[in-house]
Amino acid sequence: MSAVEPPLELRRVSERNLRESVRSLNGYLKFASMVWIRALRQPILDGLVVQHWSVEAERALKAFCDRHGCDEVLLRIDTLNQRWSERRGGYIIPRSKARGMVKELNSDGKIVAFLEPLSPYRDRYSLGAITDPAQETMTVEVVGPGFDASDLLRSDSLPHERFEVFLPEFLRPFREPVLAQRTHVIGTEDYKRTVEERLAKVGARLRNPAYPRTVIDSAGVLRARLADEGVQYLKRTKQTALLSRVDAYEPIPKRFLEKFVNGVGSILDGLRRHNIPLGPTSFAGTFTERGRFVFWDFFPADLTKAKELYLNS
Structure confidence by residue, pLDDT tens digits, 100-123: 999 999 999 999 999 999 999 999
Q: Model confidence at 1, in pLDDT bands (50, 70, 90)?
A: very low
Strand pairing partners for 77? 112
Is there a domain that residue 3 lies in? Answer: no
Residue 228: inside a domain:
yes
> Does 110 share its domain with 227?
no
- pLDDT value at position 3? 53
Q: Are residues 94 and 132 in the same domain?
A: no
Query: In this structure, are 159 and 146 located in the same domain?
Result: yes
Same structural domain, 175 and 200: no
pLDDT, position 177: 64
- Among the candidates 96, 117, 138, a domain finishes at 117
Does 269 lie in the same domain as 167? yes
Residues 14/298, Cβ–Cβ less than 8 Å: no
Give 219's pLDDT tier (boundaries 50, 70, 90). confident
Q: Whole domain around residue 235: which residue ranges?
A: 189-245
CB 8 within 8 Å of CB 35: yes
The mean pLDDT of the chain is: 92
Of 102, 117, 132, at which residue does a domain stop?
A: 117
Is the domain of 143 the same as that of 238?
Answer: no
Number of domains into which the chain is organized:
3
Q: Which helix (H) or strand (E) holds 198?
A: helix 188-207
Give the model confidence (pLDDT) of 252-291 as tens digits.
Answer: 999 999 999 999 989 998 999 999 989 999 999 999 998 9
Residue 300 in domain: yes
Q: Is the pLDDT of residue 173 over 80?
A: no
Q: Verify that 21 and 73 share a domain, yes or no.
A: yes
Residues 197 and 77 in one domain: no
CA distance linking residue 292 with residue 186, whole number of Å:
25
Is residue 168 a part of any domain in this protein?
A: yes
In a domain, 1, yes or no: no
Q: Can you give the pLDDT at residue 192?
A: 97
**For 273, how many CA atoms within 13 A lie in the half-sphere containing its CB?**
12
In a domain, 270, yes or no: yes
The long-range contacts involving 178-185, CB below 8 angstroms and separated by at least 24 positions, are: 178/257, 178/258, 178/261, 178/262, 180/140, 180/257, 180/261, 184/159, 185/160, 185/161, 185/249, 185/251
Across-strand partners of 287? 125, 293
Shared domain for 212 and 274, answered yes or no, is no
Give the CATH number for residue 139: 3.30.470
Based on the domain organization, do 54 and 200 belong to the same domain?
no
Residue 2, pLDDT > 60, answer no
Residue 65: inside a domain, yes or no?
yes
Q: Is residue 2 part of a domain?
A: no
* 125-132 sheet: strands from edge to edge: 179-185, 161-166, 137-143, 125-132, 281-287, 293-300
| Same domain assignment for residues 100 and 237 | no
- Of 139, 129, 155, nearest to 286 by C-alpha is 129
Segment 146-174 mean pLDDT: 83
pLDDT at 176 over 90: no
**Domain co-membership, 175 together with 48:** no
| Last-in-domain residue among 83, 98, 117 | 117
